[in-house]
Amino acid sequence: MRITDFELFPVRASSRTVWLIVRVRTDVGISGLGEASDAFGFANTTVAQARQMELELGRFVQVAAGCPSLDIAEYWRLGAPLARSGGVVSATGFSAIEQALWDISGQAAGVPVWQLLGTKQRDSLTVYANINRASLPRTPEGFAATARRAVAEGFRAVKAAPFDGFPGGGVAKHIEQGIACMYAIREAVGPDLEVMVDCHGFFTLPMAIDVAERLEECRLSWYEEPVAPEQLAETLTIRVAIRQKMAGGEMLFGAEGFAPLCEGRAVDVIMPDVKHCGGLAELVQIARVAATTGITVAPHNPSGPVSTAASVQVGAVLPNFGMLELQWGEVGWRRELVVPEERFDAGMIRVPGLPGFGIELNEKLARAHPV
């Protein structure tokens, strides 16, 4: 079996979100799916950026085509140096093809991908609702209303990023607004559900500590990336200074990228993203590094249903798995983009027993929502 070609499906989910889904074909009729969303940040992906990703994917498909019998370890050996040198866009393209190779491998073997990755630790995964993109207007009332809807669907944990769009001026007012949004979410969901905040690295060191202290009564499950995770000394200083758990690492690549956070115990929760970290096998390696220092793994996944399906396969085998992120509530037809439909029950998603990722792309629906 060898790789023959690929196709990129840029799917417009909203004015802000484009899911970049790739399908890789083989000469024996088996196709595998991967996802390369969010490589260009969390703003709207343009047609030109989708074309740029298509070129990156083509480059890594050529690498995969040169590997005998879909040897994923060989793909990593040959492709990872290219991914590291090309930044986030290259890392994401590389990771998307790696995902598709696992999907193909599972189908070829007639087993779910988790069975190729390790021993299943759980039959279903806890999922938290990232309500950030679905919250309109971006006010305390808007966030609270969205949180209530997610809870009504059965989710027992929610996350928001109310500090997005941090302005050049009026910083104090923006901080006040973000803090008010988090307290509104807490009031909306009640005292027993989990609430997290993502700061997207917008803060200075003093600001990060100050905001964390002011959010203590919100009883956060974690305080995510108040500064960029590459700022290791600052991250560790914040973790030592505050009472909340710290989380981060959503855009890092490879086990070596996560090692400083884990070895320095700068966070309590790491958040590797199957779209950016190097793929499924590397996420397993990252989790092993984290386990040596007792760090929990909560995969980052504000993405489409293909990334979610891939993340479920990995989460099934991680002993130190915590929760999986879901980009919740942004578009009503999301679940229909894959077959069988994506399904959550009381904030949980079952680990499928079908070969590969256990899904196919609803191509007609994907093409109905172009960029």
Amino acid 335 reads: R
Same domain, 251 and 230: yes
Report if residue 286 sits inside a domain.
yes
Same domain, 147 and 54: no
Same domain, 54 and 162: no
Query: SS3 sequence, 255-303?
Result: HHHHHHHHHCCCCCEECCCCCCCCCHHHHHHHHHHHHCCCCEECCCCCC
Report if residue 367 sits inside a domain.
no
Report if residue 44 sits inside a domain.
yes
Model pLDDT, residue 68: 86
How do the residues of the chain divide into helix, strand and coil, expressed in percent and rounded to 5? 45, 20, 40
Same domain, 86 and 181: no
Same domain, 205 and 60: no
Residue that finishes a domain, picked among 91, 111, 131: 111
Same domain, 285 and 298: yes
Sequence length of the chain is: 371
Residue 120 has pLDDT above 90, yes or no: yes
Report if residue 370 sits inside a domain.
no
Report if residue 363 sits inside a domain.
no
Domains held by the chain: number: 2
User: Exposure pattern of 145-178 as b/e (b: 16+ CB <10 Å)?
Assistant: bbbebbbeeebbbbbbbbbbeeeeeeeeebbeeb
Residue that finishes a domain, picked among 111, 130, 156: 111
Same domain, 95 and 156: no
User: Residue 70 is part of which domain span?
Assistant: 3-111
Model pLDDT, residue 14: 92
Model pLDDT, residue 168: 59
Report if residue 184 sits inside a domain.
yes
CATH code for position 25: 3.30.390.10
Same domain, 100 and 195: no
Overall average pLDDT of the 354-362 stretch: 98
Same domain, 163 and 294: yes
Report if residue 368 sits inside a domain.
no
Question: Confidence class of residue 316 from pLDDT cuts 50, 70 and 90?
Answer: very high
Same domain, 41 and 161: no
Question: Confidence class of residue 143 from pLDDT cuts 50, 70 and 90?
Answer: very high
Same domain, 80 and 169: no
Residue that finishes a domain, picked among 67, 92, 111: 111
Report if residue 364 sits inside a domain.
no
Overall average pLDDT of the 269-291 stretch: 98
Contact 179, 140 (CB under 8 A): no
Same domain, 87 and 129: no
